[in-house]
Amino acid sequence: MLQLRVRRFRCRNTVSLRRTFVEQIPGLTRRYGQRTERLRSTLAAVGLALAGRAGPRLAAVLGISVSRGTVLRLVDALPEPGVPAPRVVGVDEYATRKGRHYGTVLVDVETRRPIDLLPDREASSLAAWLAQRPGVEVVCRDRAPFFAEGATAGAPQAVQVADRWHLWHNLSEAAERSVAQHRRCLSVLTPASRQPETEAVPAADPSASPWPRGHRFADRTRARHAAVHALLKAGHRQRSVRCQLGMTWRSVKQCADVAMPEELFTGQWQNRPSVLDDHKPYLDDRWYEGCANTRKLWEEIVPLGYKGSYQQVRAYLHDKRTSPRPVTAPPPSLRTVAGWILRNPDALTESEQLQLKAVRTRCPELDALTRRFRSFAAMLTGGQGERLPDWLGTVRQGDPPSLHTLASGIDRDRDAVIAGLTMPWNSGVVEGHVSRIKMLERQMFGRAGFALLGKRALLAS
């Protein structure tokens, strides 16, 4: 128990609203305080770690009864962290609201701590932020144009560094695109005798229905059909069936009129134009190359603009499965082949090396691609940014043409890329904070106010 003696001051000025003032003990009491400073800071720490709902729940376990609002208010009242002026700043974007909105996160690369969060990813916001910190010497960023622009405007004195990870990521995407264009050249990898790989297909449909089991719509219709017929068989009238199942008069009648649920599907699927139509030639192509894996094919057509459902792809392939199978084995996936091209040749297994060799012999463009990428990798690991102009020159003059876009993109950002290949800085630490912010957002069910998110991102690390 602490016994305190404090002074109370009286104000004689009658105009003043407050008449008395009580002395506070810093770090122990505060005006209108309902809890000790220690409890306050405990609750604020709980709020930082867990935020809205989970915070009060943990507090209750610890024997503290507190509301969600109070916890959030305590977090909100925490002072802004005083951050020393950074020298090397990493900048990246983070997504909010399920990727429909982006913000900017700034990290001190040297201390590995987040410095600030900006509510958008505009060049102007970044520029304004940097302009207030003239001590910034290096800005690490990805190759997004708004960050390049913002850094140039806000910190003209700073060296911009294109992050190596992002660079390599751009290269891998280009590799996958090129390999996709040369899909047919991969047929050298396909021995003629093997069976196509298939996904684990559930036991064949007993009804030979065109709609596979597991399809949401088909299963629901089957269940309804069965329920309607069971009730009718038990002697209920259609009207009573309608009430019991909560169905419309029309749908009860439709179910009652047909003997098999499959009859309800006709017309629903057969001749209607489908969002899949545009992609059927591609699927057929891949099918005859031996790829029968629904998920893989689905993953391949989604980036090509397919907007329909996975089930539609599955139903289409199910149809094909009942027709005679292709005898060729599947070639390795595009990503696998791209991986061989991108990886360090010493890290490839013997069989991978042989397969890559076969592809390179068959296709001069993929051969050229492999050589370009390996020389880029050598620059990257050897820190030899000064060789970049030569590399760009070779790429832009020669094969494969698919790399020309990549090369001109890099050329527009040449200085930053050279710095990225040469200087030790990179924004790997920024990536870590981006995923941490994502975790914080998820914990708050994506409804976090920006201020609260910022507080938690900066203080709870």
Binding footprint of Zn ion on the chain (CB under 5 A): 182, 185, 363, 365
- Comparing CB distances to Zn ion, the nearer of 261 and 400 is 400
Find the shortest distance in angstroms from Cβ 393 to Zn ion: 23
The CB-of-336 to Zn ion minimum distance in angstroms stands at 16
214 vs 364, beta carbon nearer Zn ion: 364
Alpha carbon distance 228, 231 (integer Å): 5
- Least separation, in Å, of the C-beta of 335 and Zn ion? 17
Q: Exposure pattern of 19-42 as b/e (b: 16+ CB <10 Å)?
A: eeeeeeeeeeeeeeeeeeeeebeb
CB of 339 to Zn ion, least distance (A): 17
DSSP conformation class of 187: G
In the complex with Zn ion, the residue whose CB is nearer, 185 or 421, is: 185
- Tell me whether residue 247 or residue 363 sits nearer to Zn ion (CB atom): 363
- Min CB(372)–Zn ion separation in Å: 15
Q: How far is the CB of 360 from Zn ion (least distance, A)?
A: 10
Q: Residue 2: what residue type?
A: L
102 and 94 Cβ atoms separated by less than 8 Å: yes
* Closer of 89 and 174 to Zn ion (Cβ): 174
Sequence-distant (≥ 6) Cβ neighbours of residue 120 within 8 angstroms: 102, 103, 104
**Angle made by CA atoms 25, 46, 92, in degrees to the nearest 5:** 110
DSSP type of residue 27? T
In the bound state with Zn ion, the residue whose beta carbon lies nearer, of 178 and 426, is 178
Local structure of residue 424 (DSSP, 8 states): S
CA distance 248 to 352: 60
3-state SS, one letter per residue, for 244-300 = HHCCCHHHHHHHHHCCCCHHHHCCCCCCCCCCCHHHHHHHHHHHHCCEECHHHHHHH
Smallest CA-to-CA distance from 313 within 301, 323, 325, 304 is with 301
Q: How far is the CB of 333 from Zn ion (least distance, A)?
A: 16
- Considering beta carbons, is residue 45 or 358 the nearer one to Zn ion? 358
